[in-house]
A and B are shown apart, each in its own frame.
Chain A
Amino acid sequence: MAAESSRSFGKKRVRDEESILDKGDADRTLGLENNLTFSDTLIALQMMRAQFPNIEKVAMQPFILRSQLYSSVKDRTQVDRDLESLKKEKVLRLFKLNTGQDDHAIMFLDDYLKQCALLSCGAEVKDKHVTFLISAGLLNRQLIDPNMYWFTIPNIGSILKGLSQGRKELLSFLNRRKFKEMLLAPLEKKQLRFSPLDMRFHLRDLIGSGHLKTVRTPTGLLVRVSKD
């Protein structure tokens, strides 16, 4: 009796440890299939921020693309409205990207501040302030009009290039297949050669922007290139 009870006690402890381990690796092991949709915009933003891939070459704070948010929360109108109110409360910042139509990157304000080593909060803008900000990587000249500037995130260049190349690579990979579709589980495990961002990031983005669509099958989710 004592031996049996000690054995069951031993098993329980092992199981407890396993469950703790699971929660720790939840982001990596659960995969996209179970984690595809969330109920609330802010929760979705925080979860995706936690899942942002770690890039060694560039010190980059996590950002989320707007199309990823659309693929994660069901009601798109609600997403837009939540983003608007979060912007007003100064929790988030929205950046327009030049990679394709209507691309926006969302960054939490604390992350943006961490990304910029110094910030100027001056009232008057003088030329020397502007050149200082440009050299710090925060401001960029707008080519159309010399008096208008873009706000940028420092060190974002290589990541944006990786973003557009990764999208093209994923779409061409699926287009080359016979039926232009693949199950989500094996697709997620593939590595992209040209992009430092991971496959899950690109999948969410392309599903949200409408280039890919997901279909439920008895063996799991299927990802297919959408025709129109």
Chain B
Amino acid sequence: MWKAVKDREAGVLLPSSFASRIRSHRVASFDLSNHKEIVSPHNGAINSLQVDLTEARYLLSGASDGSAAVYDIQHATDYERGLIAKHRSLFVVDKQHSHGHRYAISTVIWYPVDTGLFITGSFDHYIKVWDTNTTQVVMDFKMPGKVYRTAMSSIATTHMLIAAGSTDVQVRLCDIASGAFTHTLSGHRDGVMSLEWSTSSEWILVTGGCDGAIRFWDIRRAGCFRILDQSRSQLGRRPPLAESTSKKGSVTGQSSSVKTAVSQRRIPLGNETKQLRTLRKSQILTRGPVVQRLHPGLSSSHNRATAHYGAVTGLRATGDGMYLLSSGSDSRLRLWDIDSGCNTLVNYEAMRLQPTKALQLAVTQDSSLVFVPCMATVKAYDVWSGMTCRTFRGHYELVNCCCFSSQYQELYSGSNDRQILVWSPPNPIIAEMEDGRGGLVSVADQDNWSD
């Protein structure tokens, strides 16, 4: 470590690589935190966690008993035995609140600009916008089905839209400024369990549905412009530009809509309209043969390409906006290259994911590790090789959500056992104390002069 400091001083090592080296070293030594604890006031399973995006100081959690709470994760409320910091909630809003949710809260997010507002979505079909300081509901939106996931874009400068996915097949965008629904995105065949705004563009929304499809929507125009298909694959990272232009001829258009279990047979684009006509005939409402004109750049709504064999339960885009991780109820985690829309075929070792609930994945800032809640543990996988780096066992029941704070390199996980656990690099002073030295003066503070 000191050699690295000297190298930085001499200019051999770049300051940014010095910082990333320290961060990855800290992340590699993760364990159940021995100096920090969060005291959870919830009486139900914790469904959603988020650390605020502006200062990374406040943690928001939502639970199945209809309660949402905020904790200050940097300053503890009290200390146990003088060493272990206990973080109690700053406030809790629950069913007793006059405008609180009536059923389970499935998703909580901070307003991305500052911590003055937060948004909760619940199974009682409502999305409520709360004022943090007065803990009052400022606005609410009624959705047609149970709300599974809400998301707001952290890079948006021109809009304040909340994207909401529910059991209804349509994704709705709610506007805080006007209090109304601005967009309705249709295309999914079943409920939408996971949503993410793109990290590179404020207009692009990615949704994953219970039908197994992942769709990309540009909210400035109608329809989705890309559907991820698991049979379209590329081997690893895309080759640099010079090589790929020579291969352009071999890549054909959309995948065929006739499902072959054998796969890899591409029907040329010329036959597409004929197939659309035959597919239309099979629908229950016979409208007669209608040829659907496809606008350039739009995906047909008949495109049944699936990204997973079951429902898509979790989505997470990497920080640089180039790759997307998706988890499905078929217990698979897939890594997609966003620009080419291909499956990179990275196989994440055998994992069992809970099939019925939406999961919250977390990625480290340099996109090297992905944290996945697998049954009662949280597993950390290397993003490109798919090997299991660490398994974090600590919860007593199924883990639902995990959130990584890149500023302080800590992982928070919430589970059905009503607890939020903190995973962080060990504090060396406390580790020494626990070794049995006793006494209140830590070794690091003692003077060590030689006479």
Binding site for B on A (CB under 8 A): 70, 75-77, 79-81, 84-85, 87-88, 93-96, 101-102, 142, 145-152, 208-210, 228
What separation, in Å, do the CA atoms of A87 and B235 have in the docked complex? 13
Q: Which residues of B contact A208 (CB under 8 A)?
A: 350
Q: What's the nearest-Cβ distance from chain B to residue A70, in Å?
A: 7
CB–CB B374/A151 < 8 A: no
Interface segment out of the listed B7-15, B257-265, B426-434: B257-265
Q: Across the interface, which residues of A come within 8 angstroms of B345, CB to CB?
A: 77, 80-81, 84
Q: Is the CB of A102 within 8 A of B309?
A: yes
Q: How far is the CB of A144 from chain B (nearest CB, A)?
A: 9
Nearest Cβ in chain B — how far from A114, in angstroms? 16
- Given A70-B350, A80-B345, A210-B352, the answer on whether A93 and B282 have CB atoms closer than 8 Å is no
- A interface, over-half SS: mixed
Which of B263, B330, B386 touches A101 (beta carbons < 8 Å)?
Answer: B330
Q: Does B375 interact with chain A (Cβ within 8 Å)? A: yes
The answer to whether the Cβ of B347 comes within 8 Å of any Cβ in the partner chain is yes
Q: How far is the CB of B200 from chain A (nearest CB, A)?
A: 25
Q: Are B282 and A87 in contact (CB under 8 A)?
A: no
A-B contact pairs, 29 of them (CB 8 A): A75-B385, A77-B345, A77-B386, A79-B347, A80-B346, A80-B347, A81-B235, A81-B236, A81-B345, A85-B235, A87-B263, A87-B264, A88-B264, A95-B261, A96-B261, A101-B309, A101-B310, A101-B331, A102-B330, A102-B331, A102-B332, A147-B279, A148-B259, A149-B258, A149-B259, A150-B259, A151-B260, A210-B351, A228-B374
User: Do the beta carbons of A76 and B330 come within 8 Å of each other?
Assistant: no
The A-contacting residues of B in range 248-271, CB under 8 angstroms, are 258-264
A146 touches B282 (CB 8 A): yes
Is B43 an interface residue when CB atoms closer than 8 A count as contact?
A: no
Which B residues are CB-close (under 8 A) to A145?
Answer: 279, 282
Known: A95-B262, A101-B310. A77 touches B347 (CB 8 A): yes
- Whole-angstrom distance between the alpha carbons of A228 and B352 in the complex? 7
Is B325 part of the contact surface with A, judged by Cβ < 8 Å? no
Complex CA distance for A220 and B347, rounded to whole angstroms: 29
On chain A, the residues within 8 Å of B261 by CB distance are 94-96, 150-152
How many A-B Cβ pairs are below 8 Å? 70
Residues of A within 8 A of B279 (CB): 145, 147
Taking CB atoms, residues of chain A closer than 8 Å to B282 are 145-147
Q: Shortest CB–CB separation between residue B379 and chain A, in angstroms? A: 9
Cβ distance A127 to chain B, nearest Cβ, rounded Å: 12
Q: How far is it, in angstroms, between the C-alpha of A146 and the C-alpha of B278 when the chains are bound?
A: 11
Taken together as a complex, chains A and B put the C-alpha atoms of A77 and B345 apart, in Å, by 6
Q: What chain B residues lie within 8 Å of A88 (beta carbons)?
A: 264
Q: In the assembled complex, which residues on chain B have CB atoms less than 8 Å from the CB atom of A81? A: 235-236, 345
A87 to B266, CA, bound (A): 13
Q: In the complex, which of the residues B233, B310, B347 contacts A76, with contact meaning CB atoms closer than 8 Å?
A: B347
Chain B residues, Cβ within 8 Å of A84: 233, 235, 345
Residue B61 is within 8 A (CB to CB) of chain A in the complex: no
Give, as a whole number of angstroms, the nearest-CB distance from B386 to chain A: 5
* Chain B residues near A76 (CB-CB < 8 A): 347, 349, 386
Q: Contact check, A147 vs B236: say whether CB atoms are below 8 A apart.
A: no
CA distance in complex: A29, B191 (Å): 53
Contacts of B385 in A (CB 8 A): 75, 77
Q: How far is the CA of A84 from the CA of B344 in the complex (A)?
A: 11
Distance to closest chain B CB from A221 (angstroms): 18
| B258 to A, closest residue via Cβ | A148
Nearest A residue to B332, CB-CB = A102
Q: Cβ of B377: which chain A residues have Cβ within 8 Å of it?
A: 228
Q: Count chain A CB atoms within 10 A of each CB in B233, B259, B377 and give the residue with the most.
A: B259
Bound Cα distance from A87 to B232, whole angstroms: 12
Complex-state Cα separation, A101 to B330, whole angstroms: 6
Lowest 3 A-B CB distances belong to which pairs?
A: A210-B350, A76-B347, A80-B345
A residues less than 8 Å from B259 (CB atoms): 142, 148-150
A46 to B399, CA, bound (A): 40
- C-alpha gap A152/B262 in the complex (Å): 9
A46 CA / B186 CA spacing, docked (Å): 47
Q: Which residues of B contact A95 (CB under 8 A)?
A: 261-262
Q: Determine the residue in chain B with the shortest Cβ distance to A79.
A: B347
Task: A84-B235, A145-B279, A151-B261 given; name 8 further pairs at CB < 8 Å.
Answer: A81-B236, A96-B309, A102-B331, A102-B332, A146-B282, A148-B259, A209-B350, A210-B351
Q: Which residues of B contact A210 (CB under 8 A)?
A: 350-352
Give Cα distance in the complex from A208 to B258, angstroms.
31
Report the bound CA distance from A87 to B310 in whole Å: 23
Complex Cα distance A77/B183, Å?
39
Q: How far is the CA of A146 from the CA of B351 in the complex (A)?
A: 35
Asked if B376 lies at the interface with its beta carbon under 8 angstroms from chain A, I say yes
Most A CB contacts (10 A, CB to CB) among B235, B310, B330 go to B235
Q: Which residues of B contact A101 (CB under 8 A)?
A: 309-310, 330-331
Residues of A within 8 A of B236 (CB): 81
Question: In angstroms, how far is the closest chain B Cβ from the Cβ of A163?
Answer: 16
Encode B323-343 as 1/0 by CB contact (under 8 A) with A: 000000011100000000000
> In the assembly, what is the distance between CA of A108 and CA of B258, in Å?
23
Chain A residue at smallest Cβ distance from B350 = A210
B261, B330, B349, B375 interface centre (most CB from chain A within 10 Å): B261
Partner of B263, one of A70, A94, A148, A149: A94
Q: How far is the CA of A208 from the CA of B350 in the complex (A)?
A: 8
Q: Mark B204-233, 1 if CB is under 8 A from A, else 0.
A: 000000000000000000000000000001
Complex: chain B residue closest to A102, CB-CB? B330
Q: How far is the CA of A77 from the CA of B346 in the complex (A)?
A: 5
Interchain CA distance A102-B306 in the complex, whole Å: 13
- Chain A residues with CB below 8 A from B278, complex form: 147
Residue of B nearest to A226 (CB): B350
Residues from chain B with Cβ under 8 Å of A149 in the complex: 258-259
